[in-house]
Amino acid sequence: MNVKTVVFLGSKPVGYQCFEFLLRQQQALGYRVVGLLTQKRAEFSGNADLTALAAEVGVPVLENPDEMPECDLLYSVQYHRILSGNQLAKVRLALNLHMAPLPEYRGANQFSFALMDGKKEFGTTIHLMDTRIDHGDIVAEKRFPIPENCWVETLYSLTEAASVLLFKETLPAILSGNFQTTPQRTLEAEKGTALHFKNEMASLKEIPENADTETILKTLRATYMPGFEPPFLRMPDGEKIYLVREKDWNGG
């Protein structure tokens, strides 16, 4: 049996959990991890340091995608760069785990937009990578109901758990090539599609003047995440008045 070679791209706790599982399964599933690309995030250094994990087992840490060796499988979980056609040409199969249902929510801050849209269902998706954002054919997905009055922090945690489980459940089939794909374009008419960017969050967090109670609560639940700028009201002079949950208030 030929040993497959794998390069992993990832960050954050979800990327760490998937990378850790990938390393543990090398012998059982017959492949070798030959490189890691990651983004060092200070807020996750204590419990999600992929660089340290790679160093423990001797996996080379690469500085940028141009350094990637040719490999059988490129697997991305919360990696921050879009790869070029030349970079993707180095691999036989390139996959991305996107923490949102596709084709409904491509891009960033998908959790907040789903809550603002009043969605009842969310999910996570593995898809083929191409040079466009979250655009390739779907390989596998896992969907689940959104709890009533859900906060974005809770939806993120639910999606993280579902993502790690989907990664683990599908890895053997992906390595063996025993999977089918569904083009996203065939689902767009039924499910809709949207592409969101990080810079949209500033306007999403601003509570409209004279907003009713329902709109205020929806905005709070959809955009309030500890560690990030809170939702706010804007005064006539432009000053922001932040809304902070009582349990997170430190009196400062």
Say whether 46 sits in a helix, a strand or coil.
coil
- Note the residue count of the chain: 252
Residue ranges per structural domain of the chain: 4-196, 201-248
pLDDT, block means (10 residues), the chain with 252 residues: 83 95 95 92 66 94 92 95 92 96 96 96 97 95 97 97 98 94 96 94 92 94 93 93 88 56
Name the nearest CA neighbour of 166 among 66, 49, 61, 77.
77
> Residue 246's pLDDT is what?
87
- On whether the CB atoms of residues 73 and 5 are closer than 8 A, the answer is yes
Spatial neighbors of 123 by CB under 8 A, at least 6 apart, are: 100, 101, 141, 142, 143, 144, 159, 162
At residue 234, what are phi and psi to the nearest 5 degrees?
-110, 125
> Residue 1's pLDDT is what?
43
* d(C-alpha 224, C-alpha 245), whole Å: 9
For the domain made up of 4-196, give the CATH fold.
Rossmann fold (3.40.50)
CATH class of 201-248: alpha beta
What's this model's pTM, rounded to 2 decimal places?
A: 0.92
